[in-house]
Homo-oligomer: A and B are copies of this chain.
Amino acid sequence: MAQLRIALAQINPTVGDLAGNRRLVVAAARRAAEEGAHLVALPEMVVTGYPVEDLALRNSFVSASVRATRELATDLDRVGLGDLPVVVGHLSRREGAVPTGFAPHGGLPAGAPQNAVAVLHRGRSVLTSAKHHLPNYGVFDEFRNFVPGDTLPVLRVHGVDVALVVCEDLWREGGPVAAARAARADLVVSLNGSPYERHKDDVRLELCQRRARETGAALAYVNMVGGQDDLVFEGDSLVVDADGELVARAPQFDETLLVADLDLPDRTDPGVPDGTEVDGLRVVRHTLSDTPVTPYPPRENTVTPRPDPLSDTGEVYHALVVGLRDYVAKNGFASVLVAVSGGIDSALVATIAVDALGADRVHGLLLPSAHSSGHSVSDAEELAKRQGFATRTVSIAPVVDAFEQAAADVGAPLGGLAAENLQARVRGTLLMSLSNQEGHLVLATSNKSESATGYSTLYGDSVGGFAPIKDCWKTLVWDLARWRNADAERRGQVPPIPENSIAKPPSAELRPDQLDSDSLPDYDLLDAVLDAYVGTDKGEAELVFAGYDRELVRRVIRLVDRAEYKRRQSAPGTKISSRNLSRDRRLPITNRWTV
């Protein structure tokens, strides 16, 4: 048996902050060295942050990443970490590509950028390669931004053969996985920037186990943590052995260094030699050292259980907190402003904000109108009191009156929907005015059911720079609120969300006695149809076949299709589903198709 101690650095890089990301890598490598690791791996594109989107098409950015990676190798060597092989993801360009031009050539992105891997050792990059399988579905546009790699790098460290792959390479049959098997790798190290989705952790573990067995090698999976616009990364870095047994697993969402001691079977078959082509990839071998490590007493590996403290709902809640926290932090905001209405959506958003930032960085605004019920104000005040954030109250009536007068003066007295929307827009403008005056980021409180059906006012309740619960169906919003309260109770704390905000029938309170149920089906039913339509691309016939009422299905489809123009103008918000209403789902506005 060959021993090897590997460290997986589950860190939180920031897109474009090359200097800051370098410092994070050096700090992680230092800790790995202190832990006695023989190899440390960091996530996909850790040097640049991920995803960089069309920054990949800028020569200046690619060059800066290449330079930063080279300087990182020097940094590591200079601080005495040169002997520790450090595997990093970064942005590079295809060997020999000319870094000029800005138009795609032959359908490939300008400048031939690559989602690359480098092994840094003794001040140099000793082995490089690039992601072979490029995802181009869901939120991913990697055929747009990268040229695929065509090598499988195999690094020999203390006699152990380590194959390196990037993210999607692991999810596809063939290619790198097949080449790693042919090369008889002892260990596959997979660098990832794998965005959080509900239930993905279960799929991920199974996939890693299956790939390990197929490849006949142990597998170490390192993923980043943190938020980047719509995306949040959960970490969940893990190690399985060649039989697919889980050896070590990191917690979700926390920055951590996962250290694992591996016992690898002695190699009986050397595998294909350097330069062999396997399934479209050339195996490239590089030896750092053939000498096995001196036998040492392994420590007990950490396996964070699933579910750990987080149930499925708790996991989503945590994703929302991290997504908001990083949007605020990475974009340099000191504070956020939320309109708290006493309803469940704004109560949940404010609670997430307090958990993400602390109560002193959250500002509540109560904006009651003539149609607000008494409990609107009292529930909002109770929410703020329980959580300790400051609120101010502005009655919107005088402003609404001034608008109505102005409209009436030009012969267009406002009624019906126009009068309802006006109230929402007055609130939106007050939020933005305080934001401009005081520098807060405004949080939009729209949920996914609202956004899907268009039951929100463009430039009204949808205003804001970030929409934390944008990807949560209304039924999930309630579940999250209940989970958060129950979690507080488990910890012996006061539940942060007033029960009345959870229990009362939902209403936008834009006209007297208005309830959501006046014009929408029950949310359990609505969300089920929405999830099938949005989440699985089913059409009318398929939804009816699945048991839903035809009239209901038609109505829901029409609502969703007709609200596309509103969604196009909405703020980003944390993706937690397998299909959000933004990059995951790209539909024309001008669209007569309704089946």
Partner-B contacts on A (CB < 8 A) = 14-18, 20, 51-55, 57-61, 64, 102, 104, 106-107, 109-110, 133-138, 141, 143-144, 168, 172-173, 227-229, 326-327, 330-331, 365, 392-396, 398-399, 401-403, 405-407, 409-415, 417-418, 421-422, 425-426, 428-430, 432-434, 436-438, 458-459, 463, 465, 535-542, 565, 568-572, 585-595
Contacts and interface: CB of A to CB of B under 8 A. Distances in A.
12 contacts: A15-B592, A16-B592, A102-B538, A229-B588, A229-B590, A398-B402, A399-B403, A401-B402, A407-B430, A412-B433, A418-B433, A569-B571
A578 B387 CA distance: 51
A189 B595 CA distance: 33
Contacts of A410: 365, 392-394, 434
A60 B542 contact: yes
B463 A434 contact: no
Given A54-B585, A572-B589, A414 B428 contact: no
Contacts of A392: 410-411
**Copy number of this protein in the oligomer?**
2
A14 B592 contact: yes
Nearest to A594: B16
Contacts of A17: 592-593
A229 B572 contact: no
Contact of A55 (B102, B110, B591): B591
A536 B54 CA distance: 12
B412 A437 contact: yes
A412 B435 CA distance: 10
Contact of A421 (B53, B138, B405, B432): B432
Contact of A414 (B172, B326, B437, B595): B437
A61 B541 CA distance: 11
A109 B136 CA distance: 9
A224 B413 CA distance: 43
A536 to B, nearest CB: 5
Contacts of A331: 589-590
A412 B429 contact: no
Nearest to A589: B229
A586 B141 CA distance: 10
A539 B432 contact: no
A463 B15 CA distance: 30
B586 A54 contact: yes
A405 B51 CA distance: 44
Contacts of A585: 54
A396 B414 CA distance: 17
Contacts of A138: 104
Contacts of A588: 15-16, 51-53, 55, 228-229
Contact of A425 (B144, B432, B434, B592): B432
A3 to B, nearest CB: 37
A57 B584 CA distance: 12
A14 B331 CA distance: 40
